[in-house]
Structure 1
Amino acid sequence: MMLSQQEISDRLEIQDLMVRYCHAVDTRQWDLLDEVFTEDALIDYTATGGARGNLAEIKEFLAEVLPAFPAFQHLIANPAISVDGDAATGRTMCHNPLVLPDGGVLNCGFWYLDTFVRVDGTWRIKERVEEASYSCTVPPPPT
């Protein structure tokens, strides 16, 4: 399949957008999410036990819940992106280990199912839904 230069550019811009999402969450800079999502975005983390809501509600949820974890890190891979003009869809794998207060680690695996739109020449996420894959807890190291 031969991709046009525009589609190559669109896919790279969307992948960069997803990395910016991970950076915003992993560094707890919730306001950076304003540059990732559309103003009317719908975000659904319910498949992994989280919240569903608009951007303001999700920022509040993340700011309330994630401080319980001393550390966490999103690792995204295998993005399957389909671009159609100023719209796109994607399915991206994510591995997200979360350090628990006792030193154990909760490993979560899921996919981001995204709908993207180009707004004023910039790609944004309009809808994000998590699809659960696995989770397992590694006990804390012996003391």
Structure 2
Amino acid sequence: MEAVFYAVPLVMIAFVAFAAVRLFGRSRQISSAWNSGLTAEGRCLRSYTTTSGGGNTSVSTTLHHVYEFTTRDGHTVRFEEANGPATVLEGDHVTVHYLADRPERATAHAPARGKLAAGTGCMLVFFGVFIALCVAFMFVTHVIFAESDGLMP
């Protein structure tokens, strides 16, 4: 029984750590694309929304765009990006920032380094607090079980 009180928080920590690594990685990709200095004129091929949640939870809607651009060496690249501006519609032309060696990791987000750093930092702090609460829960659980000789009070 005691193992459940350790396993569940550990699984939650693993998921949050995975999300933090993905968040940090995507932030680095976007920042690298902005810093590369390579830009191209792209075109929005499609925009659509996805929803999640419902029932007893709040509904969350995410706007996605599919872009296509041609690199300086003539390769046509198509990529999808979430959370783009709602003002970009199908057929609109946008400036795409990309890396020469990884053009598929492009972004059509306008450079906003402060906003990117603040958003990433806030999410990493949230993830850190969540992990700290999981560790505190495991510690308190350990203390309770140690004081009760393994029996639930």
TM-score, normalization by structure 2: 0.27
Q: Which has the higher helix share?
A: 2
Q: Which has the higher strand share?
A: 1
User: Higher Cα Rg: structure 1 or 2?
Assistant: 2
Q: Report which structure shows greater RCO (CA 8 Å, sep ≥6).
A: 2
TM-score, normalization by structure 1: 0.28
